[in-house]
Homo-oligomer: A and B are copies of this chain.
């Protein structure tokens, strides 16, 4: 997607064919820098410190991480060690394990000498497949926005989103943002309410940035504000992403998503979840009981980083010295609050029946 007057993806193989380049998302929105990833440890670090984040992109980073590991040492032992290093980097996103399993399954069938080139090729294919999925989600979601736009007769369509399920969270297009970019590119008058998404402010630092770079009108709001906007008719639809959706349609996504779903439900605002199939976990049902929720450092709550008055990144403490903090990264929105899942195969109900009918090949297997 557009960054200034150039076009980027979030991850690509470097021209030396021996490393991978990423956009360092911890420096956005103030600085745009790319970073070379040369080893599996650098890949795991990039995932852990969230230089790359977003369920789909984490999966692609892990896949390239295994290719880099094979380049250093293509033994079975090193493959297992590398899988372990990557799997431990973030516990919640199902795509991470999915990508690791997909890569491992392929690489173990090959003689060591073929593993590095085959690993890079397969990681590249996973990346390409993600872009294809996002594009398809965009096309299906576009029709939802077109329908709202038709009903508003020229008045702008207001869409609320939470966190970053944008192209920065994927390889290209994004999930929640794909319909938005396509609608904007088609000339539909739209405007996005961007939840800042505490504690890491991915809305402020990533979603607002990427919408701005692509020229999409948007306004930053605090996470507390969405309910008020919905009560006053200022939100036509909500589109969010998902880190893991269960077999019955419960949606695990960034902490606070559930609160917006409740507000949407109370105000009759459609609440859609852009859910590429790799993020659907058919092995679990009850999202609240079964999805493990990552707790992150309390420091993400008590300290906030941003651009200081002197133009350098600074970190400030907002809490009293003696107060502790607790930092759950995700919550679960029960399926009953989800108007529909925007999948690469179409917009479907968040129900066991619709999911099973849409992805019959996934039923009865662990995903």
Contact = CB atoms under 8 A, between A and B. Distances in A.
Interface in A175-231: 194, 196-199, 201, 204-205, 208-209, 211-212, 218-229, 231
A324 to B, nearest CB: 5
A224 B256 contact: yes
A257 B231 CA distance: 13
A221 B331 CA distance: 14
Contacts of A288: 231-232
B256 A227 contact: yes
Q: Is the interface of A mostly helix, strand, loop or mixed?
A: mixed
A196 B199 CA distance: 10
A332 B266 CA distance: 13
B316 A308 contact: yes
Interface stretch (A61-69, A141-149, A299-307): A299-307
Interface string A310-350: 00001111111111111110111000000000000000000
A263 interface: yes
A262 interface: yes
Contacts of A316: 304-308, 314-316
A212 B322 CA distance: 7
B209 A320 contact: yes
B266 A324 contact: no
A118 B339 CA distance: 61
B301 A318 contact: no
A270 interface: no
Contact of A258 (B29, B223, B263, B298): B263
Contact of A332 (B231, B255, B321, B328): B231
Nearest to A226: B259
Nearest to A320: B29
- Give the one of A212, A218, A225, A325 with max B CB within 10 A: A225
Contacts of A224: 197-198, 223, 254-256, 259, 331
A17 interface: no
A293 interface: yes
A77 interface: no
A307 B301 contact: no
A220 B301 contact: yes
16 contacts: A209-B320, A218-B324, A219-B323, A219-B324, A221-B326, A225-B256, A226-B259, A227-B331, A228-B258, A262-B262, A304-B304, A304-B306, A304-B316, A305-B318, A308-B315, A309-B314
Pairs A-B, 3 closest by C-beta atoms: A224-B256, A306-B316, A29-B320
